Structure 1
Amino acid sequence: MKDFRECTVYEIYPKSFLDTNGDGLGELRGVTRKLDYLKELGVDYLWLTPFFVSPQNDNGYDVADYRRIDPRYGTMEDFEELSREAARRGIGLMLDMVFNHTSTDHEWFRKALAGDPKYKAYYIFKKGKPDGTPPTNWESKFGGSAWEYLPQFDEYYLHLFDKTQADLNWDNPEVRQEVADVVRFWMDKGVRGFRFDVINLISKGAFEDDDRGDGRRFYTDGPRIHEYLQELNQRTFGRDPGIITVGEMSSTTMENCFRYAGADGRELSMVFSFHHLKVDFMGNEKWVLVPTDFAKLKEILFSWQSGMAAHDAWNAVFWCNHDQPRVVSRFGDEGTYWKQSAKMLADVIHCLRGTPYIYQGEEIGMTNAGFTDLSQYRDVESLNHFQILRDKGMSEESAYNILKVHSRDNSRTPMQWTDGENAGFTAGTPWISVNPNCRHINAESQVGDPDSIFSHYRALIRLRKEYAVISRGDFAPLDQADPAVLAYRRRWKGDTLYCINNFYPKPCRWTCPEPLDGCTLLLANYPDARPGQTLELRPYESLVLLRREES
């Protein structure tokens, strides 16, 4: 049985991973075909984003049937082959379960629309205000009201996301039983992990107008959330200690995460928190262009590391996923220091306390999409907010520039396998444009190169298994006020690990506040790196140092 603290998870967005039949869409067979590549990288689990039957209004996060494979991704036989072949290579599958809401195409919602009281109670329907306006002023995550009016009932239903994604009513015990049945169905198929989408939104609080925000304080980390997660745990994955779970926590608090991911295992193995990825937002507003607040980034990363450790709770640690821009474009450099910055950013995450997650293409330094026309975008959130920005009076050029930085499509372009046609992703027309920089950023050119970004990630994955200080050590920040350096220290049973990173493209001088005598260099992103008490750090330079007490 694997220890999730020693493991690395690799996220696959199947639609953009590998197309084997020429229809321009990646599918499950494409994942199976690349298992040897993933085995060589060294990852332990593959997190697959939803491949269930869906109208694809939100790229599969609008599920219409939790037990059936969408034909565009293949068949159940394809999934079973993938599961067998992955297990043969020592890799487990982690499925992405979307239980806050279903598609309005789901059979449950269709029966609700037909007036069936059993299924209407599966969702959240409310009467409007006396003047006919929505029950509350809550806003959808994708823009506009979170309520959609149905004239046949003279009621509104809640959708915290797109109007085709109706929120489930978790206060209904029949809904919770349905969810548990779905999880057990996939456990019986050999699934070894589950990622739960926006799971901390399932328990709604008071349905009141929010005079201070968009409504999230009434439905985030709600009043019965821990009860519901403990119940799901006891009914399903909690019965099998070999299954790992991670919860995506939207706008959560650290105090709640102490419970979500506590060492007692009553709820989840670990949590995703996103606070560190809002340091180039204006508050919670991402559809703006503001400089990255480096001091805030360090404060958030370090406080979560220290706080979760103090309460024996576990983080998922990451920069990238299918909802985030590419990190090398966001916090690194796409030009002269592309390779150095990509490796530095990898070191920051993989030496932290927590289970690291790699998003497809991150291990080869893939960058933002580089789209030059609005017609290239596919993401519903991006298209909605482009129009919202235009309706507010923003120029087309300014609104477009925001999309180029923050759109989720930046991470959804096809995986860059080769420097050939469509980056080796498809023989057909890809569903979304391939980034033209595949000519020099591709997996084929990196796998055999010992100095590549791919090889650096492989080394980090190996080190996590080799040195328990990385998987089990404590955490302490170093020189938190420095304006350019992100550095921290880990300790475990006589071993001390230092991770030192220049976060910027300018050289800087840095003196470690702790003695570094006796340290050896485990990993660096410059071939001639030399440890020392005072370091002349080159652009984006990163060093991972280890001191071992003599036994």
Structure 2
Amino acid sequence: MIKRLSFALFYTLMVFEFLTGQSDAHAAETKKTDLIEHLEPAFWWVGMHHPELQILVHGDNLGLTRPQIQYPGISVKSVERTDNPNYLFINLSIAKNTEAGRFDIQFFAENRLLTSFQYQLKSRKANSAKREGFGSKDVIYLITPDRFANGDPNNDSITTLKEQQNRNKVGGRHGGDLQGILANLDYIEDMGFTQIWTMPIMLNDMPNYSYHGYSTTDYYQVDPRFGSNALYAELSQRAAKRGIGIIQDVILNHIGSEHWWMNDKPSQDWINNDGKFSPTSHRREALHDPHAVESDVTGFNDGWFVPTMPDLNQKNPLLANYLIQNSIWWIEYANLSGLRVDTYSYSDMAFLSDWTKRVMLEYPNLNIVGEEWSVNPAIVSFWQQGSERHSDYQSWLPSVMDFPTQANLIKALTGLETWSTGLLKLYETLTNDFLYGDPYNLVVFADNHDMSRIYSQLNENEALFKMAMTYILTTRGIPQVFYGTEVLMANRGTDDHGVIRSDFPGGWQGDKVNAFTRVGLTKSQLEIQTLFKTLLNWRKTSSAITEGKLKHYAPQNGVYVYFRYTQKQTVMVILNKNDKSMELSLGRFSEMLGNAKQGTDILRKTEVALTDKVKLESMSATILELR
């Protein structure tokens, strides 16, 4: 069969040469990469932990060709073909001492050179493998790139792409971009944020609702409406000089229906459910249910989110390896400090284990956080490395998003104070930390891009808002703050995601309100922005918050007290939910107070005597640095 199809390709080339009147040699020269529609990854690095590289090649009948490489230290280990003759997967072995350089990948049909591609192996940056990922010392700033700041109006609309800018459309593209983030690094640094997590920035060439980025149509190209690959790398480089890391949002579960794969799938089993829409059940519990039937498991894992998001079949080893290499490629290329993985548990479980293992072996100190949207800590903790679990499943995932804390934060602050409700919900959440391999490496948040803003969830009650954010920024874990939270952005009366992800004030020329310069902000907005700046920058100096352990006391009478501590420092945090000021007796907390006689109130910048009682304002949060 291969020989017969190879002859067909050979005949096609002969017809081309006859029609153009070119000689064999000249045709091969001028047609260098014309036959290759995609070759990914387009370059790689020497000195990687994993000594093998798989290159995907796509083009008319290229799967029928024979690749050849001549370069010291490089050998073609094997070639894999699928049921689609337009794809070829080349498995290279890269010797440990291979030097960086360029070489041609030549493609032959019979003994005739059809085309070639000049490949490059680059040198890695110094200590690339030892890079430090984000951690509890950091505060993550979550940005929707299309809605943060428009730094380059020239890329607002790209005529070759399907959706153009329309800032008047809630779900449309508004023009924010990477240049807008670059232009406002001063603000991000000054506020005290140390990591930037952007919603996906890869190409999303979808006809509608493409701004959010979760319908990838090219895994190796930044959407030109956001900028370019080079600009993304520049953002990372310039942010790093300010002590700010870049976290990339990764989608392993699905692609956009306009991805180029969908026009010519690499294999029949590349997309789940035979490439036809079949909705996921969203029943993640089936993965853990001892009574589950297999159809419930596959109904969750293999189902699609929506018809425009084809669900990837990571059981296909070629696809699995493609996704693994893509993540490593971006970490190395853009010098990332971590990854956030969208809809983590929806992908194949065995693949997730392989994916995390490969990435973490390449970058042992990196951090990766997976999104498992469940309020059940037993289900969330399952995915974190080191957790005790009900099976022998091996997870290499360092961190997970702490959805149980987010849900119970809202219940704690909006619920009545009874023996089983109110602040007790925060206490109960932390009592489940025994389930996690490392509760101090969880990402904690009051809201994110997929839910109503915290200010709206708390019914625009500023006192409760301050308590919520104080908790998120001082409890165990790695805090994440959604852009605009620091200026009380809200979504009153609607849960439309386009409204939740509204434009950051001041990000567009002509905005009357500018949160970057503080022009036009209300008194409340100014107060909250100042609160964030104070708390975030103090947090950097506090070993107790960034490195310390946590001890807490069961809430009593509407007051919840917890301590963060190291050998060098102890911090006492008090949440008072009572609508009246009160005095809190300190005798109960003697174990943690120790010999401390005084404390500095971080938020009010006053000194507090720790003798008998502490005065608490109504509906307030207090942070005391003990001495």
TM-score by length of 1: 0.69
What's the counterpart of residue 415 of structure 1? 504
What SS class does the counterpart of residue 168 from structure 1 fall into?
coil
Count of residue pairs the alignment pairs up: 442
Contact persistence 1:17–1:26 (CA under 8 A): yes
Structure number with the higher strand fraction is 2
Q: 1:135 to 1:105 in 2, by over 3 A?
A: closer
Q: Does the 8 Å CA contact 2:222/2:228 hold for their aligned counterparts?
A: yes
C-alpha displacement at 1:439, in angstroms?
8.1
1:369 to 491, 499, 503: 491
Q: Does 1:326 align with 2:444?
A: no
Unaligned runs of 5+ in 2: 1-130, 157-173, 285-300, 388-393
1:488 to 546, 553, 562: 562
1:256 CA drift (Å): 5.3
Is residue 2:294 matched to residue 1:171? no
The answer to whether the 8 A contact 1:262-1:312 is kept is no
Structure 1 residues 522 and 236 mapped into 2: Cα distance closer, same or farther (>3 Å)? same
Pairing 1:387-398 to 2, within 5 Å after superposition: none
1:67-466 matches, cutoff 5 A: 67-112=220-265, 118-125=266-273, 138=281, 159-189=303-333, 190-203=335-348, 225=349, 227-251=350-374, 253-255=376-378, 257-258=380-381, 260-262=383-385, 267-279=396-408, 294-295=422-423, 297-305=425-433, 307-308=435-436, 314-331=441-458, 333-334=460-461, 338=462, 340-364=463-487, 366-370=488-492, 401=493, 404=494, 406-416=495-505, 424-427=506-509, 438=513, 443-444=518-519, 452-466=527-541
| Offset of residue 511 of structure 1 | 3.8
Structure 1 CA distance, aligned partners of 2:354 and 2:197?
23
Task: Tell me, yes or no, if the aligned pair for 1:139 and 1:160 is still in contact at 8 Å.
Answer: no
Residue from 495, 502, 510 that aligns with 2:576: 502
Partners of 2:280 and 2:232 in 1: CA distance: 42
- Give the TM-score taking structure 2 as reference length: 0.62
Q: Partner residue of 2:16? A: none
Going from structure 1 to structure 2, the CA distance change for 1:50 and 1:439 (only over 3 Å counts) comes to closer
**Which amino acid in the other structure matches residue 7 of structure 1?**
D
For 1:493, the aligned partner's letter is Q
Percentage identity across aligned positions?
21
Deviations 1:194-223 (A, max 9, x none): 1101112213xxxxxxxxxxxxxxxxxxxx
The reply to whether residue 34 of structure 1 matches residue 109 of structure 2 is no
Q: Which moved more, 1:184-193 or 1:255-264?
A: 255-264
Whole-angstrom distance in 2 between the partners of 1:450 and 1:16:
19
Distance 2:195 2:320 in 1: 27
Q: Which residue of 1 aligns with 2:599?
A: 521
State the 1:470 CA deviation: 1.6
Q: Which of these residues, 458, 472, 479, is aligned with residue 554 of structure 2?
A: 479
Distance 1:495 1:137, change over 3 A: closer
- Does residue 622 of structure 2 align to residue 543 of structure 1? yes
How far the C-alpha of 1:522 sits from its partner, in A, is: 4.0
User: Does the CA contact (< 8 Å) of 1:280 and 1:290 recur in 2?
Assistant: no
Counterpart of 1:377 in structure 2 is none
Rg: which structure is higher?
2
Local SS of the residue matching 2:508:
coil
How far apart in 1 are the matches of 2:537 and 2:149? Answer: 26
Residue identity opposite 2:405 in structure 1: H
Query: Contact 2:598 / 2:607 at 8 angstroms: preserved in 1?
Result: no
Distance in 2 (CA, whole Å) between partners of 1:476 and 1:528 is 24
Cα RMSD for the two superposed structures = 4.0
For residues 571 and 526 of structure 2, what CA distance do their matches in structure 1 show?
A: 22
The verdict on how the C-alpha distance between 1:164 and 1:93 changes in structure 2, with shifts beyond 3 A counting, is same
Unpaired runs of 5+ residues, structure 1, are: 113-117, 129-133, 142-156, 204-224, 283-288, 371-400, 417-423, 429-433
Q: Secondary structure at the match of 1:184?
A: helix
Q: Is the 8 A contact 1:18 1:415 kept in 2?
A: yes
Aligned-residue offset at 1:30: 0.2
**Residues 127/201 of structure 1: CA separation in 2 closer, same or farther (3 Å cut):** closer
CA–CA separation in structure 1 for the residues paired with 2:308 and 2:580: 47
Is 2:601–2:608's contact at 8 Å kept on the other side of the alignment?
no
Is this contact kept in 2: 1:344–1:525, CA < 8 A?
A: no
Distance 2:514 2:246 in 1: 31
Residue 57 in structure 1 maps to residue 200 in structure 2 = no
Asked if 1 retains the 8 angstrom alpha-carbon contact of 2:573 and 2:623, the reply is: yes
Question: Amino acid of the residue matched to residue 182 of structure 1?
Answer: N
Secondary structure of the equivalent of 2:310? Answer: strand
CA distance in 1, matches of 2:279, 2:395: 34
